[in-house]
Amino acid sequence: MSLRAAHLRPLAQLLRPAAAVPASSSSSSPRISFALRRTFGFDAGASAPGGYLDDSVNPVVRNTLVPIVVEQTARGERSYDIFSRLLRERVIFLGGPVGDAMSSLVTAQLLFLEAEDATRPIRLYINSPGGSVTSGLAIYDTMQYISAPVHTFCLGQAASMGSLLLAGGEPGKRFSLKNSSVMIHQPSGGASGQASDIALHAKEILRIRSVLTDIYADHCTREGEERGVARERFEKALERDYFMTAAEALDFGIVDKIVERRAKDEDAELGDGSSSRNQESDA
């Protein structure tokens, strides 16, 4: 079976956001101009007109091209975009901000791969600056919900909500490439309107912060460390933007191993359960 590049098509066709629904101007609507921004470092307006996912204003999105590959088989030729072809190998890419569109794509792929085989691992490659809390939690909850183990890989960066998804991978199967970086911080948001409404939204964002801290503590408690101690460690770290190298993320418990090269026997590298914290790949 041979693969060859056939042609390219705009990534914007895959990531084009849905049109925003205008806010009602009815006098009976709540006097709140912008409710809690569902964000973990980036605001939820990213996919709205003029946001950084709007392909009409963002040349990176507008001009990015997705390769199409063609398989030569006994039955003739079949063409796939490169991401669909990799999906056949149980590989999912989470690249760019985490928003509703990205969340729908990733969760759909996770559910599809579990339906195909609930025992074989899924590999989730993350290169993301973060994004919407609710969109990210939809992906995280799906990762925990399905039976198939999800191996997570950080390449480039896993910041904000991206770091939480990295940490939420199968225990012992959370990897980082050597020069990747990780950043964690508390959620951000804002509200305006009546004082009582602002108080409600402030209470909600504090609840979200507590939920995120619990998730980090659940997945990143180090060997010999009590969960309560791990939670206190993350409460302190989340106060400000906390940047880590791959080695520091390994020590912090967010990843289990640093990898530099794919092993000749990939099953030995990813499937034998030999990964352990505080041990870099010597491949």
On whether residue 178 sits in a domain, the answer given is yes
Q: How many domains does the chain have?
A: 1
Catalytic site positions = 160
Domain-embedded: residue 64 = no
Residue 111 belongs to a domain: yes
Closest CA to 41 of 207, 192, 163, 210: 163
Determine the pLDDT at residue 95.
Answer: 95
Domain assignment present for residue 87? The answer is: yes
222-244 residue pLDDT tens:
999 999 999 999 999 999 999 99
φ, ψ (nearest 5 deg) of residue 157: -150, 150
Domain annotation covers residue 244:
yes
* Any domain includes 241: yes
**Closest residue by Cα to residue 141 from 121, 161, 123, 158:** 161
* Domain presence at residue 150: yes
Judged against a pLDDT cut of 60, whether residue 264 lies above it is answered with yes
Q: Which residues form the domain of 178?
A: 82-263
Element (H, E) at 157: strand 150-159
| pLDDT computed for residue 115 by the predictor | 98
Instruction: Flag whether 101 is in a domain.
Output: yes
Question: Could you give the 3-state DSSP secondary structure of residue 159?
Answer: strand
* Residue 64: per-residue pLDDT: 66
What pTM does this model have?
A: 0.74
pLDDT tens digits, one per residue of 9-33:
444 444 444 444 344 444 433 333 3
The domain that contains 256 carries what CATH number?
A: 3.90.226.10
